[in-house]
Structures are given as structure tokens and as C-alpha cells.
A = this chain, B = another copy of it.
């Protein structure tokens, strides 16, 4: 029995981690899909796929079940998204998500989906965490120790602050950086 759990993990935090622990009680193996794998260096997606692979893998070190961590690049086509995920992941029996679109796409493809109120918490924390990093507030208590270590190693807080300032100072002519995958000089 193998479960699939997708997130952007920008960064991987305690909300995600509790969710994974809950899933670990229900399945033999877990696949963690790193969504929007091609995005990085924006306020909303500060970390590369590789950096997120490292965070997640290290944080899962103690877990008893076998885990796979696979980056999933966006295909920009909702109708083929499930097939794309399936091709990048070891075959799975159940998907875990609370996102209505993700749930719908898996269900239309005939994949069993399980939702949980815990997902809600994890969603809120992602945005809050990045805000704290930008403002300089405390955030390390909200993520596993291994994640905090990785973010420090890659100078992550400095990066998110710098790219966030692209929005704030108007340098991008009013278009939020998070929409632009490429730098947007005038």
C-alpha cells in the first residue's frame, strides 16, 4: 500500500510533517511530490526543487516507512496533470490532498483520495512562514530542525528577502514577481 502526498513545500514545515506522520500510519510507503518543481527565487516559491528535496529527505530521516521524494515540474495542463504525476512517481494506491482541484483531478482519473482537516493547517503556515522570514520574525520553531539547517546552509532567508523586494519597490512595474518566472526588468 503506497500513498502519494503533494505539496510545494516552500518550505517543508511542521504542518506538513504532522500530515506525513499521520499518513505513515495508514500506508507502507509514502511518495512526497515536490510541486512546481521548476519554480524558485520568488516570494512565493523561494527554494529550488533540489533544495526542497534535501529539506524533505533530511526531515524524514527517522520515519519508519520507505519514502520517495520526487520533484514534479508544472505541465500547465490540468487535464494531463494526474498522468504526469503518475509517470514521475512510483505507482501509488491513494492520494492525500485537501485541495479541491487536486481532489477533483484525481477523482476524475479514478484515483482514491483522502482528505484531512490537518491539511488546512499546513496551508496557512506556508504563507505565514515566508512572511516571518521576510519580516525577520521567528520561524525556526515552525519547521523541523533539519529544514532550518538546510535553509541556513543555502542562505535562504536572505534570498527570500531580496526577491520579495522586487515587488515592494516597484521595480517590476506593478507585476508581482511571483507571476513572473523570468526576471522582469523594465
Chain B residue at smallest Cβ distance from A78: B41
Interface residues of A in 57-112 (CB under 8 A from B): 57, 66, 68-71, 73-84, 86-91, 97-105, 108-110
Which of B69, B76, B175, B186 contacts A178, CB < 8 Å?
B175
Whether the pair B123, A166 counts as a contact (CB closer than 8 A) is no
What is the interface residue range for chain A against chain B?
35 or more
Whether the pair B57, A68 counts as a contact (CB closer than 8 A) is yes
Q: Copies per complex?
A: 6
Which of B36, B163, B171, B184 contacts A184, CB < 8 Å?
B36
CA distance A104 to B154 in the complex (A): 13
Contact of A49 with B by CB under 8 A = yes
Interface residues of A in 95-134 (CB under 8 A from B): 97-105, 108-110, 122-127
Complex interface: chain B residues within 8 A of A185 (CB): 6-8, 35, 97, 99, 102, 123
CA distance A90 to B77 in the complex (A): 17
Whether the pair A98, B48 counts as a contact (CB closer than 8 A) is no
Chain B residue at smallest Cβ distance from A126: B186
Whether the pair B76, A38 counts as a contact (CB closer than 8 A) is yes
Contact of A28 with B by CB under 8 A = no
Whether the pair A44, B173 counts as a contact (CB closer than 8 A) is yes
Whether the pair A78, B181 counts as a contact (CB closer than 8 A) is yes
Give residues in A with beta carbon < 8 Å to B: 6-8, 10, 35-42, 44, 48-51, 53-54, 57, 66, 68-71, 73-84, 86-91, 97-105, 108-110, 122-127, 154, 159, 162-163, 165-166, 169-175, 177-179, 181-186
